[in-house]
Structure formats: structure tokens, C-alpha cells
Amino acid sequence: MSTTMTEKNSTGASVDELIKSEQRKANVHFKKSNRANAIATGLLWGCAGLTLLILVYILGFILYRGFVSSNILESEYIDRGTIETSIGLYPGSSVVIANKDLRLKSIDYEDLSALLKGKPSNWGNVNEQDLKVHAYVLKSAKGDFGKKTTFLESSEEIAEAVAKQDGAFGVIPVKDAGILKDYKVNTISVEALSIGVNPTVFKIENNIKLRYIDRKMLERILKGKVTNWQEVGGIDLPLRLILPPTGSYEYHAFLDIAGVTGDKIPESAIESRTATDYYERINGYPGAIGLSLRTEGDKYGAAFLKYQYRKTKKNIALWFLFEEPKRAGKVGGVSSIIINTVYMVLLTVLFSTPIGIGAAVYLTEYARQGTLVKILRLGTETLAGIPSIIFGLFGFIVFVGYCHMGVGLLAGTLTLTLMILPTIVRTSEEAIKSVPRAVRAGSLALGAGKWQTIRKVVIPAAAPGILTGVILAIGRAVGETAALMFTMGFDYKRVKNLTSSARVLSTHLYQLVKEGISFDRAFATATILIVIVLIVNVLSTKLVKRKY
Amino acid sequence: MTETTKKQMQVEKRIRRRNLNERSVEGVLLVCASISVISVLFISFFIFQRGLPLFKIISPAKFLFGTDWAPTRDPNPGYGVLPFIAGSLYVTLGSLVLAVPLGIFTAVFMAEIADKRIVDLMRGVVQLLAGIPSVIYGFFGVIVVSKFIRNTFGGNGFSMLSGSIILAIMVLPTIINITEVTLTSLPKGIKEGSLALGATRWQTIVKVQIPAAKSGIIAGVVLGMGRALGETMAVLMVAGNAPIMPKGPLSMVRTLTMNIVTDMGYASGDHLTALFTTSIVLFLFILILNLSVNLIKGKEEDQG
């Protein structure tokens, strides 16, 4: 008895301990595996999140830049236009007015004088609008004018002419600005303020040369916080800030940009009484800097420092969709390119849908499983895997070459048809397979023939699925580029017939980027493409949901 | 009597006509179904027909392993495409190195961890990624990726690495889709058995489910490889396009596809033929990849 008791006791104790130690071990193990599990789960979440992030970033970036153009520009003018500016035409300030249809809010002095000289005869280079330039000034105006500039007697006449004529602009003295409310014209602000500096600033020392300053640097300089050009990326040279004469245009601009009031002007600034005084100091003191109204600065022969700024404006707008592209897409919109794209898509769908559905019907309803079906399936799969550039080559040899279609709409569409055929065949097959057997059996039992059943019962029942395939195929066709480069061409005019070369959205985007024509236009075009892709996606998922 | 026979004859006539009709319909449908195969045969035929004559003036070995591409040099033009084969392979492998882990993990996440709403969201994401046109990926690469490479690693930003990054994003949907489908179609017993034996969820995923889905995942990777090899526009815009042997991830490369597109615009004579010969190389690569996908799939079906 006693021995068994002790045995029991001893084993009981050891079991307890054993259990405890095992529990401890298990706890450690659990904690470890819990931690490993947590890390692993975190990794998986991270990967999925990264995938999502990539998509959001790509779409967001392109859509954002599609709607907001944002470019860093360098110019001799500060991006600060004013409606009333002295531009030398009349004594005192002038006001620039323009026709309502001109998409222009501000213009710099250089562009303005060039336009008055009649140098660009088209607005294309100034605001990317394809309109002829018509300039109107008063007879009393002084300056350098081109032959196309019209001289009129009064400001009223100018305003009336500008309101009537497309692409017209005019300059009137500021004292007549009151009449403008009676005419349908826009006032344009003029950027005529430059940064005048002493030429010593541009010296090269130790491979350092000041090329430009940006807005932040300018603000710091005008606030008197910069004492040496080194601090803004220049050479080792003391910076001398010259204060414009009180009350001048430059003086007001100075206060405005520096963000200070009259009594808080930096003490280090060197004052000047008159304009002559002012420019003598800028031209004479090494390292001098001062804001300069361009007409004045030119008069005194000042040197100007370049100014770098970020220009943001609205990018894509409705007019972009409805205007014809000009000059390889640099000017105007994409209307003809959209029309070409629509033609391409319609023709491709017209060619590929019947063939695709036919193939799918054969594969699902007629073919007996065997070698033939295997070969047919393999063919479809191989076709789906062939790179688009090889389709392009094939189209180039066969449709363009042997069939004498030329590089144009028809050759391109036929190439695309072959490319998207597998998509349509596969989705249609799935759709037809998912039609319940009973539907077919019912139709056949009522005495309908096989083809009748397929045509009147099966295909209508499978229609949403087939449509999904067609929509996906459209998405692919719209985005295709490589296959179209040598089969459809790059002509950006509206297609006239089946053999005329046609540029579509994707090839247009490629040309804009490759030739560096305009990144703003490229973003706008990419935005249209992405919107189409989004619509295709939404439609196809909606249809899939309806099917089930 | 006569009326019934008449009617019978009418019915028989109708049936015969219908049979004839049915047969002709079947014929038309067969033609539709054969267009894919016929196209593949035509494509192969024409590309070989136009490309093979190059071997009259240069040996296949010199073409495949030559590094000198100077088709417009007169006399003695060079037609070596090794730099482009190397470029294609490097860019493709680079993209797979980036995309395969990300793709598989994302697919595992979708198949095992996420609840239905998040799975739906991720499916939409993958579908959209697959739907974005390659020219837009290229544009994005030009603006964002090449700038990133330029600022981080130096150089002009148009490089093999930029190309690989863009291609990785482009093949991601293929890998995710196929891996997810394979994982979700695994028999439930495999997972349950492993969990019942006390394996953790992570152990089950890594040691049981991924190995079980191996052939499907490999098929997805191979398909992605095919897409990366055949991709033209995106790499054309970001990879630099210099016809030299690539030296490192930051050197500019030209792939087989880029070579075809770049020279196609102005080539003529033997130069044009050499481009078709380049496309034969590309075509064979793709064909081998496609066939291996089919083999993998076939093997899987046999096992199943």
C-alpha cells in the first residue's frame, strides 16, 4: 500500500512538473509561432497593399497630371502679371485686351512685343491655340510694329474690333480702361517684371555659375536674409539689394513679393531716389540685385537673371476633345484621333465578334472531343500568346504588302481582329458553356433544330458573357500600339476611307512622348485612355455580376 | 394514302433540307474555329519565309552569337543579335525577380487571408492593372520610373532596371491571377489535413499549399515571362534602346522587340530581312514558352 502511495506521489509530482514544463515549452513555442504568423500575415498584407499602391499611384499620377498641368519653367520674367503695366506703347500704363475665345490669362512682355511685331502669326506657340494673330493699337502708339498690326483712332474702335475678330488682341492706354465693360473682351495680365542684376553675378568661379533663382530664393533675397550669392547657388560675392525708388511699379512689386510693408524694408537694402539712380546702382555695384520693369531695364541696359517657377494650370478640358489636332498634336485637341479610334474599334468588333462567337459555338456545341478540338484550342492559345509586335509584322507583310491595302485603317483593323480573337473566343466559350443544359433540351424537345436552338436560345442566353468578352476585347484594342505602328500609320487627320492612314489615341500618345512634342498633351491623352479602360472595367464587371 | 405519303415526303424533304442546312452551318462554324490555327500557321510561315533568307549571307551562328549590329554599314554590314537576346532575357528575368515574390504573396493573401470584400477589391485591382495599355505603362516609366532611377542610382535613367520595373508591374496580374486560381482550386482536404496535424496557417501555406500549387504557379510565371519577352512599347520607351551588349542593370539595353520596332521604320533589303529574322528568334522563344505552359497544364490534368 505504502509503496504504491509513494509511487503515486512521486509519479504525481513528476507528472505535474512535466506538465508545467511542457506547458512552458508550448507557451514559448506558441509565442514564437504566433510571432512568425504575425510577421507572415503582415508580409502578405504588405504585398497586397503594395500591389494596390502601385495601381493607385499609376492611375492617380496620370489622372492628376491629366487634369492639372504642372511644369517647372525658367523665364526672364517673374510669374506675377498685372493688368496695368507700363509696356512702353503709351505714356503711363497700358491694358491688354483679347477676344473672348482666346484661352489666355497672362502673357509675358517678350511674347507680347513679339506678337506686336507680327513675328508669330499664329497663337500656337504662345498658348497652343490654332488661331491667326490680329493686333490692334492706337495710332499714337510708339514702338516696333509688324505689317499686320492695325492702327485705329480710338480705344473704343480697338475694343470693338477685338470683340469681333477671332484671335484678336489689342493694347489701350489705362485711362481708357473704363470703356471695357461695354465690350465682350477679356483683359490679359502682363508679366513684365524681371530680376535685374549686376553682370558680376554671372561670373564663373570653380565651375560654379548661377543660372537661375526660384521663388523661395527671391523672397529670401528681398527680405534681406541673403548676404552672399553663395547662399542661393552662386559664386562667393556679397549680395547688394537695391531698393527701387518709392512709389514706382518696382517698389510696389518689391513689397508684394517680399511680403513686407513700407516700414519693414530690410535695413541692408540700398535706397535710390530716381530710376536713373536705381539702374546706375544695379549696373555699377558688384553683386547688386533689384526688381526691374522690363521696359525700364532695357532702357538702362540692365542684365537679367533667370527665374524658375512651377506653373500649374488646368490641363484637359472639353475643348481638347472637340478640337482638331494641329502640328503633330502640339496645338489643338484630339477630336479626329478620337473619331479614328472609334472607327477602329467598330470595325474590329464587326470583324472579330461573328468569327469569335462562331468559333466558340463550334468548340462547345459541335466539336467532338478529340485531336481536332485539341489542335483548335492549341491554336487559340498560341495566338493569344503571340506578342503584338509579331502581329504587326504579319499585318505589315500580308495585309499591307500582299493584299495591297496600304498602311491604313483596314490593314490595322484586320491585324487587331486576329489579336483580340482569342479573348472573344475564350469568354464566349465560357458563356455558352454556362448556359444550362435544360435550356437546350427544352428547345430541342419543342422540335427546334440544333442551329435554331443555338441561334435563338443559347446565344441570347449567353449574351451577357459574350458581351463581356467583346468589351474586354475593345479595351485591349484601344490600348494596342505596337501592332498598329506599321499597319495603321500615324496620320492625325480624320480618316477618309478604309485605306487612309489613321492615328489613334495610343499611337498618338506614343508619338507625343517619343518626339517630346508636349507632355501636357500626352498626359491629357493618357487620361482619356485610362478613362476608357476604367469604363471597360466597370462595364465588364457589372455584366459578370448580372450573369450570376 | 397519297396525302399521307405526300406529307411524309414533304417532312422528309424538310428534314433533309434542315440536315443540309445544319451541315453547312457546321462547316461555316468550323471555318470560324479554324481561323486561329490558320492565323498561327500563316504567321509562322510568313515570318520564316521573310526571315530565313538572311542565312544566305550570314551563318545562323554568327547571327545568334554575333555582338555586332550594324546593318547599315556599307560594305560589310553586321547582323549579330546576341545583345538583343541578352537584353530580352536580362530585362525579363529582372522583371520576374521583382514580380514573382510580390505576385505569389499577393495571390496567397487573396486566397487565404483576405475576406470576401477585400478579395473583390484586389480582383478589381488586378483586372485594372492588366487592362492598362502598355503605352501608358511606358509613359509612366518615362516620367516616374526613369526619373527615380536617375535620382537614386545616377545615369540617364533609361536602363535595364527601369525596363524590369515596368515589366514587373505589367506581368504582376498574370502571376497573381493564375496563382490565386490554382490556390483556391486546391482540394480543401490538403489544407485541413495540415492544420489538423497542428501546423500553423503560415506553415500550411508555405510547406503544403504552395508546393501543391507548384505547377500552376510555374505556369503563371512562364506565361508572365512570355508577356515580358513579347512586350514592346513599354520597354521601348524606358529601356534606353542602345544596340550594345548590356553591361549592368544601369546600362541601356535593346531587346529583340525593340530592335524590330526601331529599325522597321526605315529598313530595306537585307536589313529588313534581318528584322524578320530577329522576329523568328522572338517567335521561337514565345512558342517554346507557350508549349511548356501547355505541357505543365497537361501534366497537371494527368495528375488530377
Q: Are residues A436 and A339 in the same domain?
A: yes
Give DSSP secondary structure letters for A153-212: SSHHHHHHHHHHSTTEEEEEEGGGGGGGGGS-EEEEEEE-EEEEE-GGGG--BTTB---E
Give the mean model confidence (pLDDT) for residues B18-24.
Answer: 83
Name the more confident of A125 and A99.
A99
Residue A353 in any domain: the answer is yes
Q: Are residues A171 and A204 in the same domain?
A: no
Query: Does the beta-carbon distance from B105 to A44 stay under 8 Å?
Result: yes
Residue A517 in any domain: the answer is yes
- pLDDT confidence of residue B181: 92
Chain A residues touching residue B175 (CB < 8 angstroms): none
Q: Are residues A358 and A258 in the same domain?
A: no
Query: Does the beta-carbon distance from A379 to B133 stay under 8 Å?
Result: no
Query: Does the beta-carbon distance from A397 to B113 stay under 8 Å?
Result: no
- pLDDT confidence of residue B149: 93
Domain count, chain A: 4
Q: Are residues A183 and A205 in the same domain?
A: no
Instruction: Output the CA torsion sign for A106, A110, A112, A114.
Output: negative
Interface probe, candidates A355, A361, A362, A365, chain B, greatest B C-beta count within 10 A: A362
As a whole number of angstroms, the distance between CA A417 and CA A425 comes to: 12
| B200 CB neighbour count, 10 Å cutoff | 17
- pLDDT bin (cut points 50, 70, 90) of residue A5 is very low
**Predicted-assembly ipTM surpassing the 0.95 threshold:** no
* Mean of all residue pLDDT scores within chain B: 90
B251 CA: distance to closest CA in chain A (Å): 20
- pLDDT bin (cut points 50, 70, 90) of residue A546 is low
Residues, chain B:
304
What digits encode the pLDDT tens for the residues A6-49? 444 555 567 888 888 888 888 887 777 778 788 888 889 999 99
Where among A173, A191, A209 does a domain terminate? A191
Q: Are residues A472 and A538 in the same domain?
A: yes
Find the range with the poorest average confidence among A8-12, A253-257, A368-372, B117-121.
A8-12
A162-194 in b/e form (b: 16+ CB < 10 A) is bbebebbbbbbbeebbeebeebebbebbbbbbb
Query: Does the beta-carbon distance from B283 to A37 stay under 8 Å?
Result: no
Give DSSP secondary structure letters for A449-461: -HHHHIIIIIHHH
Residue B255's nearest CA partner among B223, B281, B274 is B281
Where among A191, A214, A240 does a domain terminate? A191
Q: Are residues A209 and A176 in the same domain?
A: no
Residue A6 in any domain: the answer is no
Q: Domain range for residue A292?
A: 195-314
What digits encode the pLDDT tens for the residues B78-104? 899 999 999 999 999 999 999 999 999
Residue A412 in any domain: the answer is yes
Dihedral of the CA atoms B33, B37, B39, B44 (nearest 10)? 180
As a whole number of angstroms, the distance between CA A271 and CA A275 comes to: 11
Name the more confident of A422 and B205.
A422
* CATH code, A221: 3.40.190.10
Where among A24, A40, A71 does a domain terminate? A71
A521 CA: distance to closest CA in chain B (Å): 12
Chain A residues touching residue B39 (CB < 8 angstroms): 379, 383, 418, 421
Residue B106's nearest CA partner among B165, B161, B169 is B169
Q: Are residues A343 and A367 in the same domain?
A: yes
pLDDT score of A417 more than 90: yes
- Secondary structure letter of residue A89 according to DSSP: S
A390 CA: distance to closest CA in chain B (Å): 7
Give the mean model confidence (pLDDT) for residues B255-281.
Answer: 92
Q: Are residues A348 and A324 in the same domain?
A: yes
| B72 CB neighbour count, 10 Å cutoff | 12
Interface probe, candidates A47, A315, A456, chain B, greatest B C-beta count within 10 A: A47
**Helix intervals (H) in chain B:** 2-51, 60-65, 82-108, 116-131, 134-140, 146-153, 160-184, 188-196, 201-203, 210-212, 214-230, 233-238, 256-264, 270-303
Q: Are residues A451 and A425 in the same domain?
A: yes
Residue A362's nearest CA partner among B35, B14, B38 is B35
B184 CA: distance to closest CA in chain A (Å): 16
Q: Are residues A213 and A237 in the same domain?
A: yes
pLDDT score of A207 more than 50: yes
Query: Does the beta-carbon distance from B261 to A485 stay under 8 Å?
Result: yes
Q: Are residues A353 and A472 in the same domain?
A: yes
What digits encode the pLDDT tens for the residues B200-225? 888 888 889 999 998 889 999 999 99
Give the mean model confidence (pLDDT) for residues A75-79.
Answer: 88
CB-nearest to A375 from B37, B132, B142 is: B37
- pLDDT confidence of residue A13: 63
As a whole number of angstroms, the distance between CA A75 and CA A116 comes to: 20
- pLDDT confidence of residue B304: 46
Q: Are residues A439 and A490 in the same domain?
A: yes
> Identity (one letter) of the amino acid at A54?
I
As a whole number of angstroms, the distance between CA B278 and CA B275 comes to: 5
Residue A110 in any domain: the answer is yes
Chain A residues touching residue B137 (CB < 8 angstroms): 58
Give the mean model confidence (pLDDT) for residues A443-457.
Answer: 88
Query: Does the beta-carbon distance from B233 to A362 stay under 8 Å?
Result: no
- pLDDT bin (cut points 50, 70, 90) of residue A540 is confident
* Region at A273 (left for phi over 0; alpha for psi -120 to 50; beta for the rest): alpha
Q: Which grid cell is B131?
A: 487592362
What digits encode the pLDDT tens for the residues A490-520? 999 999 888 899 999 999 999 999 988 888 9
Q: Which residue of B has its CA nearest to A50?
A: B102
| A9 CB neighbour count, 10 Å cutoff | 10
CB-nearest to B133 from A59, A450, A506 is: A506
Residue A173 in any domain: the answer is yes
- Secondary structure letter of residue A370 according to DSSP: S
Query: Does the beta-carbon distance from B230 to A387 stay under 8 Å?
Result: yes
Chain A residues touching residue B140 (CB < 8 angstroms): 58, 61-62
- pLDDT bin (cut points 50, 70, 90) of residue B28 is very high
Residues, chain A:
548
Give the mean model confidence (pLDDT) for residues B229-237.
Answer: 94
Residue A171's nearest CA partner among A243, A102, A70, A86 is A86
Chain B residues touching residue A532 (CB < 8 angstroms): none
Q: Which residue of B has its CA nearest to A380?
A: B36
Query: Does the beta-carbon distance from A48 to B279 stay under 8 Å?
Result: no
Q: Which grid cell is A464?
A: 451577357
Residue A9 in any domain: the answer is no
Give the mean model confidence (pLDDT) for residues A330-342.
Answer: 91
Q: Which grid cell is A418?
A: 486576329
Give the mean model confidence (pLDDT) for residues A211-233.
Answer: 88
As a whole number of angstroms, the distance between CA B167 and CA B137 comes to: 9
As a whole number of angstroms, the distance between CA B176 and CA B169 comes to: 11
As a whole number of angstroms, the distance between CA B263 and CA A300 comes to: 55
What digits encode the pLDDT tens for the residues A239-268? 989 988 888 888 888 888 888 776 777 888
pLDDT score of A548 more than 60: no
CATH no., domain B78-303: 1.10.3720.10
As a whole number of angstroms, the distance between CA A214 and CA A205 comes to: 21
